[in-house]
Amino acid sequence: MRFQPVIGLEVHVQLKTDTKIFCGCSTKFGAAPNSQTCPVCLGMPGALPVLNKKVVEFAIRAGLATNCRIAPRSVFARKNYFYPDLPKGYQISQFELPICQNGHLDIEVTDLNSISSGCQGGKEEATRAYSDVRRGADDEVNAGRRLKANSVKRIGITRIHMEEDAGKLVHSDIPGLGSGSGVDLNRACTPLLEIVSEPDIRSADEAVAYLRKLHQIVVYLGICDGNMEEGSFRCDANVSVMPVGSTTFGTRTETKNVNSFRFVKQAIEYEIERQIELIGEGGKVVQETRLFDPGTGETRSMRGKEEAHDYRYFPDPDLVPLVISNDWVADVALSLPELPEARRSRYRSELGLSDYDAEVLTATREMAEYFEACIALGAPAKGAANWVMGEVTRTLNEAGKGIAECPVTPERLTALLQLIEKGTISGKIAKTVFDEMWSSDKAPEAIVEEKGLVQVSDTGEIERIIDEIMAANMGQVEEFRGGKEKVFGFFVGQVMRASKGKANPAVVNELLMKKLKGA
């Protein structure tokens, strides 16, 4: 029997506010344990929560960016359960009336059936091509070029609701107490959005595509720093399997708090295989909460899965219903940045960039804004794209910096590109100038003048160099004239070397071709 996975994701997004959702304590990461707490987040008797308006604004931003309906009235509820890191004995969340509902995100998925129609080997070859790309194959002819058929799939978003985070259990040697567990409540009351998808996802790859897109959106919006290692963006994966052709979902398990795209993929794939194997052996899948072990790549049972009624939800009596006006929603909508999908479309239609270029340049909001600053200053779109994706990104990666820390400003990079356009320097020399700009903070014009890097376009000087090189390499001249045209590259290299890279490549190519042909 063949099985179909059914996957739904619950994503917890930690909001980038300065203070917590119901009190004024700092949300800064990495402080000494229990140093950022107060009677409210410690759950002291008589302490009353006060809602942080910025949290509501961030929730509206997330809802609008994911095509949700913003509820004019929403209600906070108490989710009751006992755990050592939950000082009040309940979590303030939302249940029946969340702030955002009925949204969606569109993701690109690989359509093997469509690919197979263009492959000589049919679907089997298409599957191999897909596997090549998933493994990151270097052979673009055998993998990437065959794999072109992507289709758009819509993943529904059931709801987005606001809630407070719990504290954190620390399992280690505790000074003065020896080995054991401690509770750090700095994270208690930190604001979260929980974004719950419909069970529309049918593979681990689709799950990762959805998560990557959602991650990019919340970071673009400025509502989350996206740091998965620190738990700012983490995922609970609900997985079940059902026979192919069935419309009845199987029993699901929930794998909690997975905090990397790679681990989400591994956890889902393991859970699918485990459930199929269990059913095949005559067993039954138990509804439960599981944990993912990155060391083994496996999930393991943690506890029985609770139902909603187990939490005894009821409206929080300390917080009045939240009423959101149409004017407030409209104001937030006006403040939204241009999102990645819209930017990619504009780069293709208005700037003539390729799909690949548009994808890379919109990977982060900071990179897109750096690129657009260059365009606004007069840089050519394709030239700016090549340099931002090439030298700028390479040097940033080597230095371990983000583009916000780039010492070469858009103004300086644009000035460098304009020197290339004018023919003042060659593209090769420009890389030398860029490296000097990076380390010295000098303007490109000053570096070119200081180091004497102006490109040589004087035909007389270039002809002299060509004549000397041809005279010293008559064997290669005869080879070229005998039909071995690959030798041309040898002569170009020799001329550029003799001119110390300053000769204008276009002039060199034109003059060299004439002289080698004896024209």
Look at residues 465, 457, 519 and name the one whose alpha carbon lies nearest to residue 492: 465
Tell me, yes or no, whether 61 and 207 share the same domain: yes
Tell me, yes or no, whether 346 and 284 share the same domain: no
Domain that includes residue 408, residue range: 338-451
Count of domains in the chain? 4
pLDDT value of position 123: 44
Tell me, yes or no, whether 290 and 384 share the same domain: no
Which of 419, 451, 483 represents a domain boundary (last residue)?
451
H helix and E strand count, the chain: 18, 16
- pTM of the full structure: 0.81
Q: Report the alpha-carbon distance of residue 391 to residue 395 in Å, rounded.
A: 6
Q: Report the alpha-carbon distance of residue 165 to residue 381 in Å, rounded.
A: 44
Tell me, yes or no, whether 35 and 67 share the same domain: yes
pLDDT in tens, the chain (519 residues): 899 999 999 999 999 999 999 999 999 988 999 999 999 999 999 999 999 999 999 999 999 999 999 999 999 999 999 888 999 999 999 999 999 999 999 999 875 443 333 344 444 544 444 344 333 333 433 434 344 457 899 999 999 999 999 999 887 766 666 677 889 999 999 999 999 999 999 999 999 999 999 999 999 999 999 999 888 999 999 999 999 999 999 999 999 989 999 999 999 999 999 999 999 999 999 999 999 999 999 999 988 766 667 889 999 999 999 999 999 999 999 999 999 999 999 999 999 999 999 999 999 999 999 999 999 999 999 999 999 999 999 999 999 999 999 999 999 999 999 999 988 888 888 999 999 999 998 999 999 988 887 766 657 777 888 888 888 888 888 888 888 888 888 988 888 788 777 777 777 787 888 888 875
Tell me, yes or no, whether 75 and 201 share the same domain: yes
Tell me, yes or no, whether 374 and 478 share the same domain: no
Q: Is residue 333 part of a domain?
A: no
Q: Is residue 432 part of a domain?
A: yes
The backbone torsions φ and ψ at residue 418, rounded to the nearest 5 degrees and listed phi first, read -70, -30
Amino acid identity of residue 402, one-letter, is G
Strand order in the sheet with 90-94: 90-94, 76-80, 314-315
Which residue is associated with the tokens 């940033």?
396
Tell me, yes or no, whether 248 and 397 share the same domain: no
pLDDT value of position 394: 95
Which of 296, 326, 356 represents a domain boundary (last residue)?
326
Q: Is residue 230 part of a domain?
A: yes
Tell me, yes or no, whether 104 and 213 share the same domain: yes
Which of 326, 351, 369 represents a domain boundary (last residue)?
326
Look at residues 336, 401, 398, 332 and name the one whose alpha carbon lies nearest to residue 370: 401
- DSSP letters spanning 213-240: HHHHHHHHTTS----TTTTSEEEEEEEE
Tell me, yes or no, whether 304 and 387 share the same domain: no
Tell me, yes or no, whether 21 and 95 share the same domain: yes
CATH number for the domain that contains residue 512? 1.10.10.410
Tell me, yes or no, whether 412 and 342 share the same domain: yes
Q: Determine the length of the chain.
A: 519
Q: Is residue 193 part of a domain?
A: yes
Q: Is residue 218 part of a domain?
A: yes
Look at residues 288, 199, 210, 205 and name the one whose alpha carbon lies nearest to residue 252: 288
Tell me, yes or no, whether 421 and 343 share the same domain: yes
Q: Is residue 442 part of a domain?
A: yes
